[in-house]
Amino acid sequence: MVSDSTGLLIIRTWIEEGSSEPLRAEICISNDVSVGIERTLTLSRPEAVCATVRDWLAGMSGDAEPAG
């Protein structure tokens, strides 16, 4: 079944000087833009950012078991 909803995932990144893990990535997620942003995460590891994006894409495509 094809869904008419449109998802949105926004990644905003910056560096936190002086931190042992300076990368910060704020991820804003919506599986349906008509309801607005549903979840916001702030992560510091590139692997966690990639896993979050992979899981969101899997969910949007209807995959039963998202990676990660």
pLDDT of residue 13: 98
Q: pLDDT tens digits, residue range 14-55?
A: 999 999 999 999 999 999 999 999 999 999 999 999 999 999
pLDDT of 68 > 90? The answer is no
Tell me the whole-structure pTM to 2 decimals.
0.79
Q: What is the residue range of 17's domain?
A: 8-61
Residue 51 included in any domain = yes
pLDDT of residue 65: 54
Residue 66 included in any domain = no
Question: Looking at the 3D structure of the chain, how many domains does it have?
Answer: 1
Residue 23 included in any domain = yes
User: Cβ-count burial of 8 within 10 angstroms (0-12 exposed, 13-18 middle, 19+ buried)?
Assistant: middle
pLDDT band at 66 (very low <50, low <70, confident <90, very high): very low
pLDDT of residue 1: 39
Residue 1 included in any domain = no
Residue 48 included in any domain = yes
